[in-house]
A and B are shown apart, each in its own frame.
Chain A
Amino acid sequence: MADLAFTDNDGFYTVVDVKTHREDTKFNMPNLTSVERLARFYESDSNIFCLILIRYVVKGTKVTATEVTFTPIEFLSWECLTVGALGWGQIQISNSNNIKIIDGYSRKKWMLDLCDTLLEFYPKEIQKIQERIGRFEDVKAYWTTRDDVWK
């Protein structure tokens, strides 16, 4: 989940994950964290999951950072986030070239937004799984009728 962690003088424990994005690559949707892991981590109000997002360009062997974002995950707008189908679900940045921050956004509101997102996401996953079940019922029927020429 994190590249490093620290505790500040107020007693808040922050874990930090770093994501880098080369600006001239068109499509980048990095996984930020698992929804389940984050839900457990945020059961404590003194835990904070932070991200450092570094956008950069390369000229020769010189790296130039064009934009650096350091933010708790709950300050990232859901307009630039999505959920990817891996395990319980992975929070992803939908496009690394378009990151929207809402400074000071409420964790409670953000977590409720997350829940609403998942309550839309999971039924779609169920639908996908139903289609996959149907597909492999067809595959099984096909293979069941085949002569076994490999015996």
Chain B
Amino acid sequence: MKSTFYYGSHYLGVADGIKNYINSSPEFLSQQTVGSPRAVGMRLRHYWQRNLTLFWVIGAPSIQVTLRGAQWQISRLLTTMVSILLLM
């Protein structure tokens, strides 16, 4: 059995969601971190991880993702809130 998410090309929308989200975000680097690729990478990673399910909603509305761990439960809650706001 193949994954419909990946082999149905639904996954392609996730990258656009991440890119749009990063580029629409306010500046989140300090002068201290801006010169260090490692520090920038860590900030980017931390920044989008909190919003993973949001990218899923943007990129592939038909896919529901179950995330493990409390951190992801919070993300799901945030996503629900954003979805409700979009529907209003």
Contact = CB atoms under 8 A, between A and B. Distances in A.
Interface size class of B (residues with CB under 8 A): 35 or more
Contacts of B14: 70
Contact of B29 (A63, A71, A72): A63
Contact of B40 (A7, A9, A56): A56
B40 A58 contact: yes
Given A62-B27, A68-B18, A70-B11, A20 B65 contact: no
A100 interface: no
A41 interface: no
Interface residues of A, number: 36
**Cβ-closest 10 pairs across A and B:** A20-B41, A68-B19, A70-B15, A61-B29, A65-B22, A68-B15, A70-B14, A12-B3, A65-B19, A61-B27
A63 B28 contact: yes
Interface of A: 3-10, 12, 18-20, 22, 25, 45-46, 48, 52, 54, 56, 58, 60-65, 67-72, 75, 103-104
Contacts of A64: 22-23
A63 B44 contact: yes
A63 B49 contact: no
Interface string B1-34: 1011111010110111011001100011111001
Contact of A65 (B18, B29, B66, B72): B18
B38 to A, nearest CB: 9
Nearest to B6: A72
B37 A8 contact: no
A54 B63 CA distance: 23
Contacts of A20: 37, 40-41, 44-45
